[in-house]
A and B are shown apart, each in its own frame.
Chain A
């Protein structure tokens, strides 16, 4: 690992190269490659069972890919080996659809526990850092509440604070708003937007096509374990594109009563 003072290596921050994964005889990922530059936000969309969540877990090496490799800042996950993979994981923040907060810990301790037990930061310092991260996601005053006492939107914001406290280089978000009531989606999206505008590199799986297309430069469409289409939202979501992405998104838009063209950002 490099020292913080050395300049970052050139090239993309995250580079996923030819990742394949089979589980139970089923091919879930078929030689998937993608890359993200520093500060970039890319959006993964596609039908469920298409491999989006599997891809995020493979990037994180929570599931080890059968083939291919993941490079973060030029460091190969495969070469880290089983022992060092934990320090690789620490640099990637993961946000789950169903939050996965630790139910027995207060919001503040949810954020502080990995600082204390993984990074070995003293208790007082870790709690102070946790307080600051909770403030960053708009949860000042909720430090002492337990997950069961928080709304879905608040839980997801605690989980974002928990990931941010580890100083990740990149965040992977797996449908962060899919388990939320419609009126709670906004508060989480606001936090994500703030992060993106603050320069955080993010790869997000989402069905919030309208929101995503305002933030992202590139949409990746994933189906049957492959990235089948990719491009700027203005292009992919245009009716004229006749893209699979347009077809898929228009079904969502019908339900929410919006036109995919309206989700398309006006020319930048």
Chain B
């Protein structure tokens, strides 16, 4: 009878998996969109700007995700909401899901920028120089010569970032985002079967990690430059 209850709850927790996937993919995409230009500017941009961006990275690396989550939700969001209320008279409220996505994405952008930066700096600078010599602009040389190689080199580090972010996304439950962890907690609280439901959540996280890592390894293999490097 007990195990039947647990099996019946699987679709409910799987539904949470959908939120987790959306959250992780969204945060990774946001982190990528911010992190990649950040890395390019840190490596090839003007010196003072690179320093400033360094501060950004230090901030988001140094603050726990949970703290970021609260700062975004209770700080940033409520001040934007009250600003809109006082200036436009409209009452809006942003979802906890978007706050989780923003906090995770910002934190990830700092880590991703360091992955890309390492990859960019590991490339021989001569190729950049050769591109300039051919008449490329600096952004053009970064876009067509540096980044296509740096992105390939970043895949292993990025795979790691994915698996960390996936598990970090569990903190989103504190704001009531109905992802895997939140649903497991609800079930556990109602049924007192803590071990069973948290174990089920664990299995789900493991499965998602496994699938994601396999997918990224496949991409890494498919984009390998002939004659260069080895398979991971």
- Seen from chain A, the residues whose Cβ lies within 8 Å of a Cβ on chain B are 60, 62, 86-87, 89-90, 92, 94, 96, 98, 100-104, 113-114, 117-119, 145-149, 159, 162-163, 166
Contact = CB atoms under 8 A, between A and B. Distances in A.
A127 to B, nearest CB: 16
Interface in B139-160: 140, 144-145, 148-149, 152
Contacts of B152: 104
Contact of B132 (A62, A103, A163): A62
Interface residues of B, number: 22
Given A98-B124, A100-B127, A102-B149, 17 more contacts: A60-B133, A89-B134, A90-B135, A94-B133, A96-B129, A101-B127, A102-B131, A102-B145, A103-B228, A104-B148, A104-B225, A113-B144, A117-B144, A118-B135, A145-B226, A147-B227, A148-B226
Contact of B133 (A89, A103, A117, A149): A89
Nearest to B152: A104
Interface of B: 124, 126-127, 129-137, 140, 144-145, 148-149, 152, 225-228
Given A98-B126, A104-B152, A86 B135 contact: yes
A100 B134 contact: no
Contacts of A103: 127, 149, 225, 228
Contact of A166 (B124, B132, B134, B148): B134
Nearest to B130: A100
A159 B127 CA distance: 11
Which 5 A/B pairs are nearest by Cβ-Cβ distance?
A148-B227, A100-B130, A90-B135, A114-B134, A94-B133
9 contacts: A60-B133, A62-B133, A86-B136, A100-B130, A103-B127, A103-B228, A104-B225, A114-B134, A117-B140
A62 B225 contact: no
A86 B137 CA distance: 7
A100 B126 contact: yes
A178 B124 CA distance: 18
B225 A148 contact: yes
B28 to A, nearest CB: 23
A117 B130 CA distance: 14
B124, B140, B145, most chain A CB atoms within 10 A: B145
Contacts of B133: 60, 62, 89, 92, 94
A90 B134 contact: yes
B173 to A, nearest CB: 42
